[in-house]
Amino acid sequence: MMASEKEIFSLTGPTFLTSIDWNNSHHRRSVAASLVQGVYTMERDRQQNRHGPQALAMPWWQFFNFKLNQILVDNHDLSYFGAIYEFNVPYPYHSYPGQRPPQYVIAFRGTIKKPGNREQDFKLNLHFMLNNLNNSTRYLTGLESVREIAYRAGPENVWLAGHSLGASIALLIGRDMVKHTKMNLETYLFNPPFASLPIEKITNEKLRHGLRFASSVLTAGLAVATGGGNSNRGEDVFDVLSTWVPYLFLNPSDPICSEYVGYFEHREKMESMGAGRIGRLATKHSIGSIVRGKDCEAGHLIPCAYLSINLSPSQSFKEAHGIHQWRQDLQFNYKLFQYN
């Protein structure tokens, strides 16, 4: 079977980055996206029995001076779902002024809709929708690896990256590292899924805002009724997480991730209306997590983020949701959202 062009670095990789400026956010984004693509391509190499000169994955990390430290394997279907990359230059990096390259990057792929992958990948997507992805082998394996590396190398030397389902895993790991170890990892989340109806796709602004307002009031009311709105129950999770600002890369034409745009913008709008308390309370909860009980957290909800929104037109859902778009030179809208 012939390889897809998107798997071949020389055809679709950011080959223009012959010299990486680690102070340049566009360069860092392209590198992170390429390392995630490396995981996808490794899994396709495995599926297609491509070995040696026929294997296509290696250029996706070697071009940026990384080496493959470890492959993360799902013990249910034996697929490659993640990788640990190590920068080839010995640490510490005295020759890099300002922002330094990461010593390690842990990257996670998303769903592959091919035989041999789709059954387990779709099952994990369902776990995400039910807010129990944190019970999956992929999450637990990834978390164990990240903890070990972060303790050994220091959190300032470690990046997390993921696309789609892999972004959900990376987000959960990043959240838990902050909550339980107080370690903030630089995190790149490409097209992270948002477990909600895609209200952002509604073109009528008044209807869209009305639905969001009604949803916020309902969610906040349920949270208060079930004890989730009681601020005296110990340290607030969002206060703890507010020290961590992951990078979210979103395409408004992608219904899987576009709701993050509305999620953050609506909280700002509620503040401007004088309904900030309702907005902040609703922002911490989902109706699904409330219904499932006090021990069920909505793992996709975060207090802070640096949003990069791709303003370039997409011709299809596949293009809008694809990892390949984030390796290119794009037109972006940027916005930092913080939690007060």
pLDDT of 254 reads 94
pLDDT of 231 reads 47
pLDDT digits (tens, 9 = 90+) for 19-55: 899 999 999 999 999 999 999 999 999 999 999 999 9
pLDDT digits (tens, 9 = 90+) for 68-78: 999 999 998 99
pLDDT digits (tens, 9 = 90+) for 222-264: 778 777 655 444 468 889 999 999 999 999 999 999 999 989 9
Angle at alpha carbon of residue 104, lines to 102 and 107, rounded to 5°: 110
Q: Is the pLDDT higher at 47 or at 214?
A: 47
Q: What is the CA radius of gyration of the chain?
A: 20
pLDDT of 101 reads 93
pLDDT of 235 reads 60
- Average pLDDT on 201-209 reads 78
Query: How many whole angstroms separate alpha carbon 226 and alpha carbon 337?
Result: 28
pLDDT digits (tens, 9 = 90+) for 85-113: 999 887 666 666 778 899 999 999 999 98
Pairing mode, if any, of strands 186-190 and 247-250?
A: parallel
Q: Report the predicted TM-score, pTM, of the whole model to 2 decimal places.
A: 0.91
Say whether pLDDT at 338 is over 50.
yes
Tell whether the torsion through CA atoms of 131, 135, 139 and 145 is positive or negative: positive
**What is the band of 173 on the pLDDT scale with cuts at 50, 70, 90?**
very high
Q: How far is CA 5 from CA 11, 232, 294, in A?
A: 6, 55, 47
Say whether pLDDT at 281 is over 80.
no
pLDDT of 105 reads 98
- Average pLDDT on 192-215 reads 79
**What is the band of 294 on the pLDDT scale with cuts at 50, 70, 90?**
low
- Average pLDDT on 171-181 reads 96
**Tokens at 313, concatenated:** 């037109």
**Tokens at 324, concatenated:** 């390949």
Burial grade of 255 (CB within 10 A; 0-12, 13-18, 19 or more): middle
pLDDT of 234 reads 43
Pairing mode, if any, of strands 104-108 and 158-163?
A: parallel
